[in-house]
Amino acid sequence: MEILLEAFRSLGKDKLRTFLSMLGIVIGVIAVIVAIAIGAGTTANVTARISSLGSNVIIITPGFTGGFGGRAAMALTSVLQETDVQNIQQMAPDVADVTPILQKNFNVIYQATNTVVTVVGAYPDTFSILDLPLQSGRLLNQNDENADANVAVIGNVIATTLFGNEDPVGQTVYVSTGGFQVPITIVGELKQTGSKLTFNPDNMLIIPYTTAAAKLIQLNGGVSQIIASAKSAQTALNAVDEINNILYMRLQNTNQYRVISQNQILSTVSQTTDVLTLLLASIAAISMVVGGIGIMNIMLVSVTERTKEIGVKMAMGATRRRIMVEFLVESMFITIVAGAIGVGLSFLIAALVTYLASGLGLTVIITWPSIVLSFGVSVAIGLFFGLYPAYLASKKSPVEALRYE
């Protein structure tokens, strides 16, 4: 306790110098905690977006060709067929639901209002696969599919754009295509959900697959992509393998298609954000090292300035070990206090970043491991960079120290 009080008195003699020596550690601790918090928040946001697709979603998209010798890779848009969907339904026991997707942007007109809308043709299973909640009206059903019915379920944002406060259910819109206008009756409106990876249901007009294939998006049996869901999380990987085998039997080339599950996407995103978080934290930690060097410099100056004081203490019986511990405690006291201040301010900075980036959907999540890590590193820096000055102080000759001016 006596050593701690002595260290406190020594540091209090030059408050400005002590503050400046703390500043590098304070900034470093804040930078490390906030960097890790941004990484954690980003991971949580992206994971939530991907998870919002629904449970155990599997996405099958066309592959790419070309890309050699300076040529741009081109999507193989005609690779996937509706027959692939039928084969998956019949031959993949671990797949619960599957639907082809026809997707294209069209100009959609309602009275004097018109806007560009993503029109999606799909089976009724789409709503359960993507977990799309209904706000009013009804969803598409198998009767609509069988009859090539000119009906649609509309996304919340597009409904507001076209109809304002008017109820869209029962209204008729017109989809412009090739000089013709196809009338579509709205039978249901979805709740607002936000983006679901490759889909944005809020801006979509979902119509029966047969209607899209016959009247709007003719691909001669081809489909834009296929989405499916596994029967459970435990069978998701088996479902992916089954779909891969079914497509390979027909295409004999794995480069012509891509099959990826929601869990695989989450794993890839997690790995990527972990690497970026580590990179950000490593860069931020450099400022802590710089702060440690500053503390060493201050302590070396302090040892020189207090040479005579050291000689007096040794003459009065202070051991070399006690002198060394005293200077080491001063160094660690600086970093402990600076670390505590940095931890406190990091919460304020995190709240500020969250507020300023709220429009981007960024959330900053401070975790206890990041606090323990940054505070622990700050204490270790005090120990490491204070060790050499403390050692020099303990090695001074009492006689020479007393004669020092």
Q: Indicate if the pLDDT at residue 387 is higher than 90.
A: no
For residue 302, report the phi and psi dihedrals to the nearest 5 degrees.
-65, -40
pLDDT tens digit sequence for 8-24: 566 556 677 777 777 88
Q: What is the mean pLDDT of residues 243-255?
A: 88
Q: Indicate if the pLDDT at residue 7 is higher than 70.
A: no
Instruction: Return the exposure string of 345-354: e unless at least 16 CB atoms fall within 10 Å of the residue's CB, then b.
Output: bbbebbeebb
- Yes or no: say if 379 and 336 are a contact pair by the CB < 8 Å rule: yes
What is the pLDDT at residue 51? 62
Q: What is the mean pLDDT of residues 212-241?
A: 85
Q: What is the mean pLDDT of residues 78-82?
A: 82
- Per the confidence metrics, is the pTM higher than 0.85? no
Q: Indicate if the pLDDT at residue 304 is higher than 60.
A: yes
Cross-strand partners of 390: none
Dihedral of the alpha carbons of 23, 27, 28, 29, in degrees to the nearest 10: 100
What is the pLDDT at residue 71? 43
Token duo for residue 126: 């789409």
- Yes or no: say if 242 and 91 are a contact pair by the CB < 8 Å rule: yes
pLDDT tens digit sequence for 305-336: 667 776 777 777 777 777 777 778 777 888 88
